[in-house]
């Protein structure tokens, strides 16, 4: 069903490429309503820097402008003037505010989905706020017990058992209870969002060679394998724990609908090698639809006109598709 509510696009870190990508998107006709969450002057100044002509319109509920060259925005002011490529911790509160408004607007039925341009986790922490990522923030804000980060590009979906954790803490975070809830969310959302009836999930081990029979680590034998065995008895198609290096070979990958990696840098480098620039980051387990880009703030490119909007387009495309398939919330 065509969307009657807009997709909310949060501009992310104002000194990064979020504003550039949004303005680049506004150059084309859209077949969905969009509202940009960001600061008006930042958008206007960045449009000037990029030599783009974009009519900026203050968004009102019900606004469905979609023509090329026009962009509706909800003005959420920055706290300090922005120079492209230069982070300022003073604007961290602005970035957080974009997410609060985007998330609350989805929960309240004002927006159909939230798409996030990249933010800079480091500068938010430098501003004195403990922040590990959109995934964790949006889960807390929306009351979701178990968010699961999944990145997808044509031919590959990779979900993560742990998200933004120092490597030293990863092994301790792999617990039977935590891993079970991640697998349940992944399984349920592959069915709910991707219409895969009985998803086949390829599960990585944590250690080299999936622990080499206990000689290179015990988490596979003590935690992962018994859990998978128990869930298989419920009918889930779970293959693993498999050595991650061989799992990510084409012959094995074709036997699964998604991969579950145990940690961020076990799964995402492979995904980005295959699909950087056209992949989407999707948060599973939330009561709202949230997608994002596969890249970061790219401060080196902000204001240069060289940022590629391919991943943002894919993220919006997936958000629109998922939102169109959701039951319509009565106004």
Ligand X SMILES: NC(=O)C1=CN([C@@H]2O[C@H](COP(=O)(O)OP(=O)(O)OC[C@H]3O[C@@H](n4cnc5c(N)ncnc54)[C@H](O)[C@@H]3O)[C@@H](O)[C@H]2O)C=CC1
Residues that bind ligand LD2JLWAY (CB under 6 A): 133-135, 268, 281, 292
- What is the rounded distance in angstroms from the CA atom of residue 296 to the CA atom of residue 283? 16
Contact 246, 256 (CB under 8 A): no
Select from 298, 302, 314, 318 the one that contacts ligand X (CB under 6 A). Answer: 298
Handedness of CA 263, 267, 269, 275 (dihedral sign): negative
- What is the rounded distance in angstroms from the CA atom of residue 17 to the CA atom of residue 32? 22
- Minimum CB distance to ligand LD2JLWAY smaller for 47 or for 268: 268
What DSSP assignment string belongs to 170-237? HHHH--HHHHHHHHHHHHHHHHHHH--SS-EEEEE-SSGGGGGGGTS-SHIIIIIHHHHHHHHTTT-E
Max intra-chain CA distance, the chain = 63
Which 15-54 residues touch ligand X, going by CB under 6 A? 17
Residue 57 is labelled as binding a ligand: no
Please choose which of ligand LD2JLWAY, ligand X, none residue 72 contacts, taking the beta carbon within 5 to 8 angstroms, the exact cut-off set by kind: none
- Minimum CB distance to ligand X smaller for 15 or for 179: 15
Q: Interface with ligand X by CB under 6 A: which range of 35-43, 55-63, 66-74, 288-296?
A: 288-296
Residue nearest to ligand X (CB): 296
Which residue is associated with the tokens 């990145």? 151
Please choose which of ligand LD2JLWAY, ligand X, none residue 268 contacts, taking the beta carbon within 5 to 8 angstroms, the exact cut-off set by kind: ligand LD2JLWAY
Select from 148, 240, 295, 315 the one that contacts ligand X (CB under 6 A). Answer: 295
**CA 303 to the chain's CA centroid:** 23
Which 134-163 residues touch ligand X, going by CB under 6 A? 134
Which 58-117 residues touch ligand X, going by CB under 6 A? 116
Q: Which residues pair with 200 in a beta bridge?
A: 237
Determine if the peptide bond prior to 172 is cis (ω within 30°).
no
- Crossing angle of helices 176-194/225-232, nearest 10°? 40
293 part of the interface to ligand X, by CB under 6 A:
yes
Query: Shortest Cβ distance from residue 197 to ligand X (Å)?
Result: 30
Residue 209 is labelled as binding a ligand: yes
Which 306-325 residues touch ligand X, going by CB under 6 A? 307-308
User: Binding site for substrate: residue ranges?
Assistant: 134-135, 272, 281, 290
Q: Where does this chain bind ligand X (CB under 6 A)?
A: 17, 116, 118-122, 134, 281, 292-293, 295-298, 300-301, 307-308
């Amino acid at each position: 069903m065509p969307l009657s509510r807009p997709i909310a696009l949060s501009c992310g870190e104002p000194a990064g490429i979020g504003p550039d990508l949004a303005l680049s998107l506004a150059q084309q006709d859209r077949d969905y309503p969009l509202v940009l969450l960001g600061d008006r002057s930042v958008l206007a100044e960045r449009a000037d820097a990029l030599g783009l002509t974009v009519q900026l319109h203050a968004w009102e509920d019900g606004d469905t402008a979609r023509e090329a060259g026009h962009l509706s925005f909800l003005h959420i002011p920055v706290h300090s003037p922005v120079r492209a490529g230069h982070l300022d911790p003073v604007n961290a509160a602005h970035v957080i505010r974009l997410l609060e408004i985007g998330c609350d607007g989805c929960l309240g039925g004002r927006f159909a989905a939230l798409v996030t341009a990249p933010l800079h986790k480091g500068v938010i922490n430098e501003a004195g706020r403990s922040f590990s990522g959109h995934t964790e923030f949006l889960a807390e804000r929306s009351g979701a017990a178990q968010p699961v980060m999944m990145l997808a590009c044509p031919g590959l979906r990779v979900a993560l058992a742990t998200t933004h954790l120092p490597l030293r803490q990863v092994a301790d975070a792999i617990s039977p209870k935590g891993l079970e809830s991640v697998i349940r969310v992944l399984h349920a959302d592959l069915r709910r969002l991707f219409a895969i009836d009985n998803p086949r999930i390829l599960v990585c081990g944590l250690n080299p060679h999936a622990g080499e029979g206990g000689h290179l680590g015990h988490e596979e034998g003590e935690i992962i394998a018994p859990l998978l065995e128990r869930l298989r008895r419920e009918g889930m198609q779970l293959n693993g724990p498999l050595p991650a290096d061989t799992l990510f070979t084409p012959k094995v990958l074709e036997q699964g609908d998604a991969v579950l990696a145990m940690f961020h840098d076990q799964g995402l480098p492979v995904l980005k090698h295959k699909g950087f620039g056209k992949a989407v980051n999707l948060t599973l387990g939330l009561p709202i639809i949230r997608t994002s880009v596969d890249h970061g703030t790219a401060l080196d490119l902000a204001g240069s006109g060289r940022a590629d909007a391919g991943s943002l387009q894919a993220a919006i495309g997936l958000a629109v598709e998922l939102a169109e398939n959701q039951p319509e919330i009565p106004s």
